[in-house]
Structure formats: structure tokens, C-alpha cells
Amino acid sequence: MAIIVNLDARKDRETKASIARLLAIVEQDLADTNDIILKRMHSEVELIPTLARHLIAAGGKRLRPVLTLGSAKLCGYEGDRAKKLAACVEFIHTATLLHDDVVDESNLRRGNETANVLWGNQASVLVGDFLFSRSFQLMVEDGSLEVLSILSNASAVIAEGEVMQLMNVGDTNTTEDSYLQVISSKTAALFAAACEVGAVVAGRPKAEAEALESFGRNLGIAFQLVDDALDYSAEQLALGKAIGDDFREGKVTLPILLAFRRGNTEERAFWKRVVEDGEQTDSDLEKALEIIRRHNALEDTIERARHYGAMAKDALGIFEESEIKAALLEAVDFSIERAF
């Protein structure tokens, strides 16, 4: 059995950050958004809503659409446009998950079998395409060329990030800059767009839209850094995911980059064998976890996440203090403290 790395360096923490306050503030808007999602994923082709519902109804906190709704409220907007765009954001996210699970050959997501396991790769890819199409219909219905530009550009950047990550698989020469470019594209781009459109629908000044874009982008980077650390931690089990998926897939994430850079000749030879050559035995994950722990790679990955989380918080400095601002700031802490 593999050694489980425990990231809880602060056992004396009495309370953990939560997004409960943010969810409470946007509760009714999120319910309306969910209604839009259910309505717009309907199709006469029975497999489409069945497969889409499997993933959308599987759980998750709808963080990206919640950020759209919260950002709009931060800017004083209370109309319906934000709800439709929040649904659009969720469709983009869900489509990328369907495609990712096919590319990664994943078997489990949020504790459930993935759609590609249940219905096959072809159906998963095509339903992902359907959801992308629905997202663009919602963008067009909004009628704003600026919104269309923001969200369509994010969709293109996400795809670029996924291709960049594919190119980096098995490459221990991947640089930290290259890795950050990947996560900035495949994860942070949608966080950034989700927040920025909240200011756009509210008709707020460019400075506020840019601040929310920066908030979302830095939050997204922090979120993905934590995800990459979680792949090697006990907390992954609580999230319904298998430990070591990235390792088995040869993904060179920051924990491996740091462990490789700090390792001795023998350890680097190990990484080259299991990551570059793809030659893995049943005991290799355990050894990988030992090396990662020895070099504090997970703790330092979380420290990087805190750095980007601090920049996300700083970006909201131009907004007046309010309950919704405090809730958005707490969402940053929640995203990082998932690792504990």
C-alpha cells in the first residue's frame, strides 16, 4: 500500500475556510442557474441529457458559476444576465471535464465512474462538443460582443492549455514556467473569464473588470496548484478521487518538478524511468511519495498556492468592503485549505 502524504501542517486549526457564506449570498441565483443548466442540456437525443446529467448532477460546488454570480453582485448587478452566463461557464467547464477524462483515460470523478467508462469515449467527446455548443448559444443570446470575446477566448485558451499539458507528459525537462503556463491556460483562464464577465454585465469601469479578471486568474492558479498537490495526499480520497492519477499518467506537475530538481542522481534516474519511460511497478507510487515528502515538494507547492491566493485577494482591493467581498476573499482561503 502506498504511503499517504499528510499535508496537515496546522493541526491546531480550529476552523477551516468555507464557501458557505458565498453560496448563501448567491443561493437563489444559483438555483435559477441550475434551472437554466437543466433546461439547456435537454435534447431529443436521449443519450445527451443522460450523459450530461451524470456529470453535472454528480456533485461539486459549482465554484466557477458561483464566482460569476458573486462577481456580478460585487459590482452591484442583480439581473438575469449573470445567471445565464454562469450556466455558460458551467457548460464550458463540464465539456472540458468530459474531454479530459477521455484524454486521461480516467475511471473515477467525484467518487463516481466517469462518463467515458459508462458510455464510451466517443459519446463523451460528442456530448462535450454539444455542451460547448450550448455555451456559445448562451453567449450569443447575451448580445454583448465583449462577453462573447471574453468567454470564447477562454475556451480557446483552455484547449491550448490541454494540448500543452499533453506535450509535457513524460518530460522531466519541463520548466516551472512551462508548467505555470499550462495551468494558467487550462484552469485559470476560465476562472478569470467567469469573474470578469460579472463586471461586464454590471457595466462597471474597465479597472474593475481587470481587477476581477486578475482575482479569478490568480485564484485559478492557486486552485490548480492545490489540486496537483492533492493528487499525492490523503485528502484526495475524501474528494472521491484516486491517489496518484497524475503519477500514473506521467503528468509532470509541480510536486514532481520540485522533487526532480532537488533530487540526487538516483532519484532523478527513478523519475526518468517512471515518468519519461513510463516503466512503473506496483511499488513505484510509494517510492515517489517518499521522495516527494523527503524534499518537501507538497508543502512548497501549497506555499506557491498561498502566494497566488494572496495576489487574488489583493486584486479585490479596489472594491469597497462588503459582505460579498468578504465571501469572495474567504473563497480564496477555502480553495487553498482544501489541502488540509
pLDDT at 328: 98
pLDDT at 61: 73
Rounded to the nearest 5 degrees, what angle is found at the Cα of 3, between the Cα atoms of 332 and 239? 35
pLDDT at 10: 43
Residue 109: CB atoms within 10 Å: 24
Residue 312: CB atoms within 10 Å: 27
pLDDT at 340: 62
pLDDT at 103: 85
Flag residues of the chain having pLDDT under 70.
1-16, 58-60, 108-111, 234-242, 339-340
pLDDT at 119: 85
Q: Which CATH number fits domain 20-337: 1.10.600.10, 3.90.550.60, 3.40.50.970, 3.40.50.1100?
A: 1.10.600.10
Helix 206-230 and helix 254-262: axis angle, to 10°? 60
Q: First-to-last CA distance in the chain?
A: 22
Q: Using only C-alpha atoms, what is the Rg of the chain?
A: 20
pLDDT at 106: 75
